[in-house]
Amino acid sequence: MKRAFVFPGQGSQAVGMGKALADAFPVAAQVFEEVDDALSQNLTKLMYEGPIEELTLTENTQPALMATSVAVARVLEAESGKKLSEMADFVAGHSLGEYSALTAAGSLQLADTARLLKARGLAMQKAVPVGEGAMAALLGMEIGGVEELVAEADGAAGICVIANDNADGQVVLSGDKDAVAHVIELAKEKGVRKAMMLPVSAPFHCPLMQPAADEMKAQLADVSIAPPLVPLVANVTASQVSDPETIRGLLVEQVTGRVRWRESVLYMGEQEVEALVELGTGKVLSAMVRRINKEMTGSAVQTPEDIEAFLGSL
């Protein structure tokens, strides 16, 4: 059976994340210690104890989620005695999860990734003054309908683009606050089931993030990138990539580009992947699988019990 390991993005963080893993598996504790050292920050304490307001700061959330995901991957390898490439045929991650995927697959070094995500979080936060940008979720409207709304708005109140195509009937907008609000009103007129502003600190995955993309281009320039053990299904292309220089470019493009998650899952289905296994905190990605491809199963591996169950299924 073909399997893909997938890695969550921002929004899955929670106080206490990773603690049960570190208590049960020394290899997980080593991952958290290495991330702390790379950042010269006690991120582990923040993950375990909070406060949630500080953990939710983008500069902390991104490396914390990555560390937890990579810890799960390392535990699976250590406990099974298998390489990641013997357990999965592809890796993919949602937004920052793409960095987790590349680290788990040996393309990026853990310490480099921690520093990159700290810089990415800071750069994304600084790119747009607080209050000027916004993101919104549209539920119950397919991607084609949302694209028509965005085209109809035609930048009348500023920039508004599709940031995330997550699943059938679940699309996220991003851009200038007034422009996003305008498209929400258009969506309500068209009978969208639900339209709501999201509690985020910046408008991710839209052209307003260009300063952050420029910063990541500079940050990534000197980082060593190896071919991943298994191909990455990239956010911005929804297709597989293994070439290090292509990956470097896509990580820059990803900051302003659309997260094509629905298309990525469909692509993996076309490659005969039958199971998506979400590694890390939360169950967001595994819960969406059946809404995208009814032939594919989704499961989440985040606790020692989940790890035991997964290893038993190998």
Domain extents in the chain: 2-127+208-313, 133-200
Instruction: Please pick, among 94, 100, 174, 205, the residue that the annotation labels catalytic.
Output: 205
DSSP secondary structure string for all residues of 8-77? --TT---TTTTHHHHHH-HHHHHHHHHHHHHHTS-HHHHHHH--HHHHTSHHHHHHHHHHHHHHHHHHHH
- Residues 262, 166: contact at Cβ < 8 Å? yes
The predicted-structure confidence for 122-136, as pLDDT tens digits, reads as follows 999 999 998 899 999
Instruction: Please pick, among 12, 95, 174, 264, the residue that the annotation labels catalytic.
Output: 95
Tokens of 167: 């699943």
The predicted-structure confidence for 215-253, as pLDDT tens digits, reads as follows 999 999 999 999 999 999 999 999 999 999 999 999 999
The predicted-structure confidence for 64-109, as pLDDT tens digits, reads as follows 999 999 999 999 999 999 999 999 999 999 999 999 999 999 999 9
Identify the burial level of 179 via C-beta atoms within 10 angstroms of its C-beta, where 0-12 means exposed, 13-18 middle and 19 or more buried.
buried
Computed over every residue of the chain, the mean pLDDT equals: 95
Tell me the mean pLDDT in the region 174-178: 95
Which of residues 275 and 191 earns the better pLDDT score?
A: 275
Distance from C-alpha of 278 to C-alpha of 216, rounded to nearest angstrom: 26
- To the query of whether residue 205 is one of the catalytic residues in this protein, the response is yes
Its pTM stands at 0.95
The CB density around residue 250, as the number of other CB atoms within 10 Å, is 18
- To the query of whether residue 94 is one of the catalytic residues in this protein, the response is no
Distance from C-alpha of 141 to C-alpha of 134, rounded to nearest angstrom: 19
Give the class (CATH, top level) of 2-127+208-313: alpha beta
CATH 3.30.70.250 fits 133-200, yes or no: yes
Which of residues 200 and 18 earns the better pLDDT score?
A: 18
